[in-house]
Structure 1
Amino acid sequence: MNDFLKQNSHLLEKPIIVFGTGRSGTTVISEIIFQHEDLAWHSNWQELFPKFAPINYLRRLFDNKYWRVIGMNTQNNKSFRNYILFRPIERYDFWEAVTGKRIDFSRNFLLNEKATPEEQEHIRTFFARIVKYQKRKRLAIKITGPARMEYLMSIFPDAQFINIQRDPVATIRSWMEIYWNEQITNQLWWQGAYTAAELKKAEELSSDKFLFAAFQYRKLMETTQQEIEKMHPDIYTTSYEDFVKDPKAFVKNLMDFAHLQPSKLVDTFMQKLSIANRNERKAVSENSEITPETKQQIMEIVNA
């Protein structure tokens, strides 16, 4: 272990890892939790400079004892000001850089995969630098897609996982409404976990984008459960529906699980948000409209 990591390994104790399928509420929920004054996280600036840990010193300019001006990803805030501000983000150029060429972090399920000792030291050192340079006490991570639990626990063995789930039909409809819907409907986006029989079934479903997406949703949920049963992580599983039902109680429960002290910064941020159950809204276009018959087919696939 290098000297920096020896001196700063305490910064990586019990990192918080928020994950879900994507479009499951992970962004708004993680962004609320990430307002906590103790937490450091992957930022938009780190994504621009994925191999340059000192970029994290920038957070001290935006967020210090004199002022706090943090950007946000929720509510489609696309202003230039928000683009410049230091803010939490989930992108994968950084992950590909920090995990190295051996690992396809963004598109592989990483089942039965562990980091090598050399990779562990490199990755832990980089994340410790993120926490230290941001002048925080603890690491927080948000990812979507596969849980990648065994791989992440080989790096952070005492990680606390927060698993966010959402109604499958609402999730799949939301997948159809975002920029990467063509990626997930034209191919099996995540790789490395499908059997020959499953690949054959996927081919049969590929002509219907909703059913093809449902097949991939099911695999995400299935592999997550497999990893939970194998790894026995410290995990809190909850749902987007519980969040919108009572946001304050929901966030308190999450913070209690993660052993985070009450935070005025978290409370203030929540007051700024308009939280509503987006499961109940209408589809934004005909392309994402799901008929009752298709809903039934989706649920049959998900529950098969």
Structure 2
Amino acid sequence: MTAGIDITDLLHPVRTPLQEQVFRDAAAAEIAFDPAAILAAARDQTGLADFGAADFHERLSVWCQAVEEDANASGVTRVNLFQMMVRYAATRLRVEDMIKRHPEILDIEIEQPIIVAGLPRSGTTHLLGLLGADTRLRSLPWWEAIAPVPATDEAPTPDDANPRWTKAEAGWRAMEAILPYMAIMHEFSPDHISEDIELQAIDFSSYLLEWLAYVPRWRDYYLSRDQAGTYAYLKKGLQLLTFLKGPNRWVIKCPQHMEQLPALYRTFPDATFVITHRDPVGSIRSQLTMATYAARMLRNAVDREEAKDYWIDRYRRLLEACVRDRDVLPPEQTLDVYFHDWIRNPDPILREIYRKAKLPLTDETLVTLHAYLEKHGEQSKGRIVYDLERDFAITAREIRQGFGFYFDRFPAEIEVG
């Protein structure tokens, strides 16, 4: 068994010299989250001016206000988020420009996608990668998710066949160097299959911002608004990528879908929906550890209570929405997958996914999927040690008490004692 990686300085981090240098440099940067400045930077970067429908301006303003209210956000967080917002704005300009030049993009059908949803930090990425190993399906690698439309300086050259991949690789290597255990907990290598949330974020929505800063203002705004428009933008992104590369039988995934099932179903009414279920305590434990480890760079001060209070509540909200809305999905198109069944024998579950998707699961395909499972086991890159009581002064039982409603609806086995 792989030796466990115990992050013993989780609450009182000892930064490496590289971490200290990055932290100091970012702290010296003057960043103001002004929507006009963000959009101007995107225009300057692209030479384009048309952002399409203007409703996103309000959401961008809430993003900026929420981040400015996060007093514990470090300079690293502020620099990263400003650059991220400019990137999304620039990508939006390129998307709208491409569609203006090729309006037929919006006529492309996104036919019978397979859509995976499940708790964050619970193995949905592993399932997505597994299904993505089937070459009949189209998935979204990280390099393409963060740059779906190539910029003018990203055309292939004799020295670089894919500059977008090269840029994504540089970003991945930088993250590995700065936060090596984060690279184990959540991979962002260029070819790693990404969540479709990157396409939603081009519309300046989704729950993405919550994972990057403490932004209750944005959480409340997002949860109080119908996300139909943002899911339509997700579909537009898939149409554009199909136009650029094809084919159009997609497999996509995002944990957020669990709390947006009505909007998801209205947008993709012929999809096959795969909803994974697992003891939420294990997922919460993983998220608390990941967030607290990253806090040495992303927060001015490590505050386990901040992480604990936010994320236990946030998982509860997500699962309450899933319990409330699960039955909007047609039974003949939907499969609930339980982690305890999956680890015992994934083959019957795979066969049922493919049956509902009306996609033949050939022996050859099954061999390919088994090879993926062999190569990408959950602990293939190392096993992080999680200790709720030591690190967060809370027990699994105390967390689980707030999730009885979920276990009443979905019989997931208890994993964390």
What's the offset of the Cα at 1:123?
4.3
* 3-state SS of paired residue (1:4): helix
TM-superposed deviation, 1:43: 1.8
1:110-144: CA deviation from partner (whole Å, max 9, x where unpaired): 5772535xx77654343123234343340111102
- Distance (Å, rounded) in 2 between the aligned partners of 1:241 and 1:122: 35
* TM-score normalised per structure 1: 0.66
Q: Deviations over 1:148-198 (max 9, x none)?
A: 222222322222211111112222221222146778xxxxxxxxxxxxxxx
User: Could you tell me which of 223, 235, 248 is aligned with 1:124?
Assistant: 235
How much identity, in percent, do the aligned residues show? 19
Q: How does 1:207-222 map to 2 (within 5 A)?
A: 207=305, 210=308, 213-222=311-320
Using the alignment, how far apart are the partners of 2:231 and 2:128 within structure 1?
25
Q: Give the letter for the 1:32 counterpart.
A: L
Aligned to 1:227: 325
Taking structure 1 as reference, are residues 235 and 112 closer, same or farther at Cα in structure 2, changes over 3 Å only? farther
For the residues of structure 2 that align with 1:173 and 1:303, how far apart are their CA atoms? Answer: 17
Indicate conservation of the 8 Å contact 2:114/2:273, yes or no. yes
Report the equivalent of 1:28. 126
| Contact 1:40–1:136 (8 Å) recurs in 2 | yes
Q: Is the 8 A contact 1:214 1:298 kept in 2?
A: yes
Q: Which residue of 2 aligns with 1:115?
A: 228
Q: Is 1:19 aligned to residue 130 of structure 2?
A: no
Distance 1:92 1:242 in 2: 27
Higher mean C-alpha displacement, 164-173 vs 120-129: 120-129
What's the C-alpha RMSD, in Å, of the aligned pairs? 4.1
Structure 1 unaligned spans of 5+: 63-75, 184-205
User: In the alignment, does 2:264 pair up with 1:136?
Assistant: no
- Please state if 1:254 is matched with 2:353: yes
Greater mean deviation of Cα atoms: 37-46 or 261-270? 261-270
Distance 2:280 2:335 in 1: 19
By how many angstroms is 1:252 displaced? Answer: 2.7
State the distance in 2 between where 1:21 and 1:122 align.
23
Distance 1:77 1:178 in 2: 7
Supply the AA of the counterpart residue of 1:90: E
Distance 1:126 1:4 in 2: 10
1:225 Cα offset (Å) = 1.7
Question: Could you tell me how far apart the structure 2 residues matched to 1:161 and 1:221 are?
Answer: 16
Residue type at the aligned position of 2:401:
E
Bigger CA radius of gyration: 2
In the alignment, the residues of structure 2 paired with residue 272 and residue 221 of structure 1 have an alpha-carbon distance, to the nearest angstrom, of: 31
Q: Tell me, which stretches of 5 or more residues in structure 2 are unaligned? A: 1-98, 163-180, 211-218, 296-303, 406-417
Distance 1:268 1:151, change over 3 A: same
Q: What SS does the aligned partner of 1:17 have?
A: strand
Q: Which residue does 2:337 correspond to in 1?
A: 238
Among 152, 175, 178, the residue aligned to 2:264:
152
Q: How does 1:48-197 map to 2 (within 5 A)?
A: 48-52=146-150, 85-90=190-195, 92-97=197-202, 100-101=203-204, 103-104=205-206, 106=208, 110=223, 113-116=226-229, 123-145=234-256, 146-179=258-291
Given that 1:161 and 1:236 are in contact with CA atoms closer than 8 Å, whether structure 2 keeps it comes out as yes
Query: CA contact under 8 A between 2:200 and 2:233: conserved in structure 1?
Result: no
SS in 2 for 1:178: helix
Does the CA-based 8 Å contact 1:131-1:139 persist in structure 2? no
Distance 1:126 1:182, change over 3 A: closer
Tell me the equivalent position of 2:397.
296
Question: Which amino acid is the alignment partner of residue 95 of structure 1?
Answer: Q
Structure 1 residues 252 and 49, CA, compared in 2 at 3 Å: closer, same or farther? same
Secondary structure of the structure 1 residue equivalent to 2:250: strand
- Secondary structure at the aligned position of 1:177 is classed as helix
The residue type paired with residue 156 of structure 1 is: F
Structure 2 vs 1, CA of residues 275 and 105 (structure 1 numbering), >3 Å: closer, same or farther? closer
Q: Deviations over 1:12-58 (max 9, x none)?
A: 1121111112111101111111111121122211233155599xx99
SS in 1 for 2:337: strand
For 1:173, give the aligned amino acid: R
> Is the contact between residue 215 and residue 302 of structure 1 (CA under 8 Å) also seen in structure 2?
no
Deviations 1:203-235 (A, max 9, x none): xxx958657643332221110121223455732
TM-score, structure 2 normalization: 0.50
Q: Within 2, Cα distance between the matches of 1:260 and 1:121?
A: 25
Once the two structures are TM-superposed, the CA of residue 289 in structure 1 deviates from its matched residue by 7.1
